[in-house]
């Protein structure tokens, strides 16, 4: 039996894919926040997003992470709708 060449902290494929989903939603949120017209609101939203993602950084339960991704997507959709209404 041969030893694995992967370092002990290597992510499984599922963990890697889930990490990519988290990073993708984080990037989409930050890009959407850039569209907020008021600088103070933009700063507040950026800090809120960073704090939320930092607070949940150590989460390891795949179901909990999936739920958090879903919630982040819902917040993103809500922000996009608010921006669309404000632009009308």
Q: pTM surpassing 0.95? A: no
Distance of CA 86 to the CA centre of its chain: 24
Distance of CA 79 to the CA centre of its chain: 14
Distance of CA 21 to the CA centre of its chain: 8
* Of the candidates 70, 80, 84, 82, the residue with the CA atom closest to the CA atom of residue 30: 80
38-80: pLDDT as tens digits: 999 999 999 999 999 999 999 999 999 999 999 999 999 999 9
Q: Between the CA of residue 72 and those of 26, 30, 49, what are the distances in Å?
A: 8, 12, 9
* Average pLDDT value over all residues in the chain: 91
* pLDDT number for residue 5: 75
């Amino acid at each position: 039996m041969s030893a694995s060449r992967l370092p002990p902290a290597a992510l499984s494929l599922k963990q890697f894919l889930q990490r990519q989903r988290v990073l993708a939603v984080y990037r989409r949120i930050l890009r959407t926040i850039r569209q907020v017209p008021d600088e103070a609101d933009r700063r507040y939203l950026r800090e809120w997003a960073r704090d939320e993602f930092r607070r949940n950084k150590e989460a390891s339960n795949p179901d909990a992470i999936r739920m958090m991704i879903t919630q982040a997507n819902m917040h993103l959709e809500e922000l996009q709708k608010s921006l669309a209404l404000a632009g009308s």
